[in-house]
Structure 1
Amino acid sequence: MPGLQHYTAQGYEAYKQTLETIGKGKRVVALFTGSKNLSTGQSWCPDCVVAEPIVDQVIQDTVVAAIDVHFITVFVGNREVWRDPAVGFRTDPSLKLTCIPTLLEVGNKAKRLLEGQIANKNLVKDFFVDED
């Protein structure tokens, strides 16, 4: 079914499993963000707190919602997990994340938005609409 399909993954292994579930040959976009504190519902990552509602607003936009894309919100873990240089998000050759939030098109290393760029609604919208 065409249109945006949304998934959520908690941690690196769940991210890899979600990719397997989606399957090959599909356009997949992932937002890597800090996990939320269960009592506050807020991420420990201040840039993530700013970026998430912007991405949510863009993916609910009618133009973006009509695009055939699988979107994964990936929670990277708490601050200690994220800062570990051996964490899969940092070591996986297809990701090599250096900061969060990061918005990227899976399989297209050149197509990513980092930190403050994700706070720009127009950049985020163009990211989804431009299929290069």
Structure 2
Amino acid sequence: MADTSPFTVEERLVAVVWYHERRNTNKTTKRVQEDFEERFGKPAPSKSNLHLWEKKAFQSGSVLDSKRSGRPKIRDLGIQNIQTSVLRYPKKSLRKRSAELGVSYSSLRRTMKEDLHMKPYKPTVICELSDADHENRLTACDRLQHFDTIPKRSKDTMIGQQVQVLGYQELMQEVQKRSKQTLFVYFSGSKGADGTSWCPDCVEAEPVVQAELQNLPAGSTFIYCQVGDRPYWKDGNNEFRKELKVTSIPTLLKYGTSQQLVEKQCCQPELVRMLLTEEV
């Protein structure tokens, strides 16, 4: 690499001699720098440069910058070689080309983009449509309409049943009637004349729970239980709190087990699905 110092060889030699002899002349480094500026009419080198030049002069006999090692620039390797490689093997990946040419991946990519104006691309395979495809697709759709390929569900493979009850007594009647079945009970605040529950969390959770009922196990029953109005529910002595230990709504539970979701948990589809489908 060429010498890039702003100081000439003469300036560096004079500075080195003065700096080295300062011990004999009792001059400080600052005084040496002032003498340098007075003689050459330019800013003096820093103390670190003076020390470096002195060390270099006595070790190598020269004050010139030594050659620096390092990877050659991409242009030294030849842009033409890269262009030839691309034209000969256009489908070769950048990583393979980089290894073959001995050029770093980033340098190769930058050269191809900035110097050769090339852009990387990934081939995309698409279906080609012809003029006859429109009629062929209509014919195929017409044939499909006459196929009865969807098997009907038997009684054993149907999803579970759904029941709605109002209040504790109706709930207990359904539980006793279906004692041999797997029961899932969803507790919600009762609905008014407009069909909306007085409980905001229940309103938010209901569509989530309803959407997951498609995963209801065969032979099981889902009971939608309205617990009553707000004053009744807030009463700490109501049957739901005392007998069933249901203290929050909405609550979705697997009856007879400890599995249950409460409040905001009922708004998470994955949790509802897990409760309905996992066996314990």
TM-score for the superposition, normalised by structure 1 = 0.89
- Give the match for residue 211 of structure 2: 57
Q: Which has the larger radius of gyration?
A: 2
1:36 aligned residue: 191
Spell out, residue by residue over 1:74-128, the C-alpha distance to the aligned partner (whole angstroms, 9 max, x if none).
0000001111111110000xx20110000001100x2000000000011001110
Preserved contact between residue 35 and residue 76 of structure 1 (Cα < 8 Å): yes
What is the 5 A alignment of 1:12-91? 12-22=168-178, 24-38=179-193, 40-59=194-213, 61=214, 64-91=215-242
Structure number with higher helix proportion: 2
Any conservation in 2 of the 1:103–1:118 contact (CA below 8 Å)?
A: yes
- Give 1:21 deviation, angstroms: 1.9
| 2:248 pairs with one of 71, 95, 99 | 99
Task: State the TM-score, normalizing by the size of structure 2.
Answer: 0.43
Q: Which amino acid aligns with 2:174?
A: T
Runs of 4+ off more than 2 Å: 65-68
Q: What are the within-5 Å matches in structure 2 for residues 2-21 of structure 1? A: 2=156, 3-21=159-177
Q: Quick one: which amino acid aligns to residue 129 of structure 1?
A: T
Q: Is the 8 A contact 1:58 1:125 kept in 2?
A: yes
Displacement, 1:66?
Answer: 4.9
- Alpha-carbon distance in structure 2 between the residues aligned to 1:76 and 1:65: 22
Q: Is contact 1:67-1:129 (8 Å) kept?
A: no
Paired letter, 2:271: L
Using the TM superposition, give the Cα deviation of residue 25 of structure 1 relative to its aligned residue in structure 2, in angstroms: 2.5
Structure-1 residue corresponding to 2:276? 128
Matched letter for residue 123 of structure 1: L
Q: Does structure 2 retain, via aligned residues, the 8 Å contact 1:28–1:71?
A: yes
Counting strand residues as a fraction of each chain, which structure ranks higher? 1
How much is the aligned-residue C-alpha RMSD, in angstroms?
Answer: 1.2
In 2, distance between residues paired with 1:30 and 1:121?
16
Cα separation, 1, equivalents of 2:172 and 2:272: 23
User: Structure 1 residues 45 and 112 mapped into 2: Cα distance closer, same or farther (>3 Å)?
Assistant: same
Q: Which has the higher contact order (CA 8 A, sep 6+)?
A: 1
Is the 8 Å Cα contact of residues 9 and 15 (structure 1) preserved in structure 2?
Answer: yes
The alpha-carbon deviation at position 67 of structure 1 amounts to: 3.2
Question: Does the CA-based 8 Å contact 2:181-2:220 persist in structure 1?
Answer: yes
Structure 1 alignment gaps of length 5 or more: none
Letter in 2 for 1:97: V
Q: List runs of 5+ in structure 2 lacking aligned partners.
A: 1-154
Aligned identity (percent) is 35
Q: One-letter code of the match for 2:253?
A: L
